[in-house]
């Protein structure tokens, strides 16, 4: 992870060295108390016994993880077989997040490239245009998407009006709606790192390739893409990771059939399931997955930096 | 934008995809904005322009609920953003202006922790934390949770700004017998203002935006705008929700635009 050292070095000084502990103390206290300790407590709770209707009994138990991975029949005394319900939900989440990432890449890459090749003065305006929707309330954006996609919604009206379809397309409560919702939620995260990478790219390399009779698409694939790969990977991670644990898009646009991890976890605490240790265990599994992805990514970025 | 076919930089179709991208981004918002001015009670039929639903938001049967939720939202966002910005400014000074130290990487990891942990996991962890210490859920729990996850958002623009300010200004002040405290408050802080304002605005919007964490740690009956809107949308999208959404959307866009112009003006000078 970049620690953000200034290139000149003159900004990183030791002027306030003796006050350092006092300057950092409020951040340490707040984040240890409200971020670090809660995550560690969640780990503890995932190994406790559930209290009916929420909460826990302070008794060690592996029941939460057992319920996640194994099926022991209705009365719990059958031989354990693999439980597919929750693995399927996780798998569906990975698949949906992957599809949303691919969609974001297919639209985000050309957009980022187009913006990065505008004249220097107009680039900030384009970046601003792409980022504004991100700062609009996520709930409102998701609700707006649902409003647009409804069976009697404006999109269907438009398509019927244009004579493209005869009867409304059913889009809400489909996998596609969820993917579109996730795409809509996190698209700027794809565009910004790719934009930054293309902006730094030396177009003399493309010119050299063109001089050697490479076609434009060959140049894109064999010269540009390898150079901006770190930006592309960063964009994919920044879309994939929040999509994996998303709650609003699957809940509002997906309906019951398209249940994802976020809804599974939410149901344990806010819904009818009321099984806190199980919710904590599912959260731990999600967090572990995310941290592994981030670690692989950090290692790759570090290697890429060494190679340059 | 004339595209030169010999230009090796331009690819056919990329401009069209960019336009498509912007349409996908803006169409849902614009449609909801338009329909919020619909006179009709139905969300499917257009019956002409009207401010009826805006009046409904302020004086209608649900106005009490929404006003209280809006008050809670803005109160929490203001306090959380102020506290988070203060903490982030001090932390940035400690990280960037206080020499090298052993715990630097660890501190950086701690500050970015809320960004790495998925939101739903933060929500679960925070709920469990308040439950474990038997802290009664209400406005206070929402505020504490918001302060924590606002810190990295405030920290990013503030630290970026601080890295761009050479320390020669502070050194000049110190040479002229200013105390360290004076160098900090009279020299560094004013130079930092654009970064601090951006940090505050980002933190404010992020707090105003939050649904998942708030929904987990709020007490029964305590609502912020997003949780109130979510509750209402579960019964179906109604025109008054579109009016509220349009107003909230306006607040976000105005704040981001202010932040954009502050940073742009600052780059010029």
The tens digit of pLDDT for each residue in A90-125 reads 999 999 999 999 999 999 999 999 999 999 889 988
Q: Would the CB atoms of A11 and B132 count as touching at under 8 Å?
A: no
Rounded CA separation B165/B211 (Å): 36
Average pLDDT of the segment spanning B237-264:
86
B25 within some domain: no
Model confidence over A267-289: pLDDT tens digits?
999 877 789 999 999 999 999 99
DSSP element (H, E) containing A81: strand A81-82
Determine, yes or no, domain membership for A47: no
Residue A104 maps to which CATH number?
1.10.3720.10
What are the chain B neighbours of A143 within 8 Å (beta carbons)? 32, 229, 233, 237, 241, 245
ipTM: 0.87
Pick from A14, A113, A247: CB nearest B212: A247
pLDDT over 90 for what percent of chain B? 44
Q: Say if A34 falls within a structural domain.
A: no
Residue B69 pLDDT grade (very low, low, confident, very high; cuts 50, 70, 90)? very high
**Residue B265: what pLDDT?**
73
Q: Could you list the residue range(s) of the whole structural domain that residue B248 is in?
A: 62-266
d(Cα A91, Cα A260) in Å, to the nearest integer? Answer: 9
The region of weakest confidence among A228-237, A297-306, B105-114, B203-212 is A297-306
The rounded distance, in Å, linking the Cα atoms of B19 and A260 is 31
Q: B59 to chain A, minimum CA–CA distance in Å?
A: 22
Number of domains in chain B: 1
CA separation for the pair A240, B223 (Å, rounded): 30
CA atoms within 13 A on the CB side of A218: 9
Please give the residue of chain B at the shortest CA–CA distance from A113: B14
CA nearest to B238 within chain A: A147
Q: A151 with A170: CB under 8 angstroms?
A: yes
| pLDDT beneath 70: ranges in chain A | 1-11, 308
Tens digit of each residue's pLDDT (9 = 90 or more) over A30-61: 999 999 999 999 999 999 998 877 788 888 98
Q: What CATH number does the domain containing B189 carry?
A: 1.10.3720.10
pTM: 0.88
- Structural domain range at position A179: 92-268
Q: Is residue B31 part of a domain?
A: no
Look at chain A and report how many structural domains it folds into: 1
Quote the pLDDT of residue A11.
65
A contact test, residue of B10, B19, B91, B120 with most A CBs within 10 A: B120
What residues in A contact B253, CB-CB < 8 Å?
A: 132, 135-136
Task: Judge whether A13 lies within some domain.
Answer: no
Domain-embedded: residue B29:
no
Is A20 in contact with B99 (Cβ distance < 8 A)?
yes
């Amino acid at each position: 992870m970049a620690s953000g050292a200034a290139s000149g070095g003159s900004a990183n000084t030791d002027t306030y060295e003796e006050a350092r502990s006092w300057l950092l103390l409020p951040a340490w206290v707040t984040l240890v108390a409200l971020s670090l300790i809660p995550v560690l407590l969640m780990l503890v709770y995932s190994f406790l016994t559930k209290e009916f209707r929420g909460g826990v009994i302070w008794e060690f138990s592996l029941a939460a993880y057992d319920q996640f991975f194994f099926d022991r029949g209705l009365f719990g005394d059958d031989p354990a077989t693999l439980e597919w319900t929750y693995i399927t939900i996780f798998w569906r989440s990975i698949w949906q997040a992957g599809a949303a990432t691919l969609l974001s890449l297919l639209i985000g890459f050309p957009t980022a490239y187009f913006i990065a090749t505008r004249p220097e003065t107009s680039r900030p305006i384009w970046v601003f245009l792409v980022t504004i929707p991100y700062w609009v309330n996520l709930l409102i954006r998701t609700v707006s998407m649902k409003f647009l996609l409804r069976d009697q919604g404006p999109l269907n009206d438009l398509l019927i009006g244009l004579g493209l379809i005869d009867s409304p397309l059913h889009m809400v409560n489909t996998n596609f709606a969820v993917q579109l919702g996730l795409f809509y939620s996190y698209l700027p995260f794809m565009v910004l790192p790719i934009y930054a990478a293309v902006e730094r790219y030396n177009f003399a390399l493309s010119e050299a390739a063109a001089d050697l009779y490479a076609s434009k698409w060959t140049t894109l694939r064999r010269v540009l893409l390898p150079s901006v790969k770190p930006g592309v990977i960063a964009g994919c991670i920044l879309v994939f990771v929040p999509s994996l644990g998303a709650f609003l898009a699957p809940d509002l646009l997906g309906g019951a059939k398209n249940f994802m991890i976020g809804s599974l976890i939410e149901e344990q605490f806010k819904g009818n399931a009321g099984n806190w240790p199980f919710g904590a265990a599912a959260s731990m599994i999600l967090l572990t997955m995310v941290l592994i992805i981030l670690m692989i990514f950090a290692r790759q970025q570090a290697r890429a930096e060494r190679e340059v | 934008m004339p595209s030169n076919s010999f230009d090796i930089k331009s690819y056919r179709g990329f401009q069209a995809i960019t336009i498509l991208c912007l349409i996908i981004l803006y169409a849902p918002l614009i449609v909801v904005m338009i329909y919020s001015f619909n006179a009709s009670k139905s969300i499917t039929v257009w019956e002409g322009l009207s401010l009826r639903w805006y009046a409904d938001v302020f004086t209608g049967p649900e106005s009490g609920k929404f006003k209280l939720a809006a008050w809670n939202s803005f109160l929490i966002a203001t306090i959380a953003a102020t506290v988070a910005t203060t903490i982030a400014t001090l932390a940035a000074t400690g990280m960037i202006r206080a020499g090298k130290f052993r715990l630097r990487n660890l501190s950086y990891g701690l500050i970015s922790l809320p960004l790495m942990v998925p939101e739903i996991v933060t929500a679960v962890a925070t709920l469990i934390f308040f439950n474990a210490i038997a802290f009664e859920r209400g406005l206070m729990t929402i505020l504490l949770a918001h302060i924590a996850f606002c810190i990295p958002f405030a920290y990013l623009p503030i630290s970026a700004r601080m890295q761009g300010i050479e320390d020669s200004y502070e050194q000049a002040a110190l040479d002229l017998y200013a105390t360290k405290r004076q160098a900090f408050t009279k020299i560094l802080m004013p130079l930092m203002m654009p970064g601090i304002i951006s940090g505050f605005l980002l933190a404010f919007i992020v707090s105003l935006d939050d649904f998942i964490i708030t929904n987990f740690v709020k007490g029964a009956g305590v609502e912020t705008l997003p949780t109130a809107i979510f509750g209402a949308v579960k019964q179906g999208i109604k025109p008054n929700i579109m009016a509220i959404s349009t107003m909230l959307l306006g607040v976000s866009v105005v704040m981001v635009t202010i932040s954009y112009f502050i940073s742009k003006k600052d780059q010029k000078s």
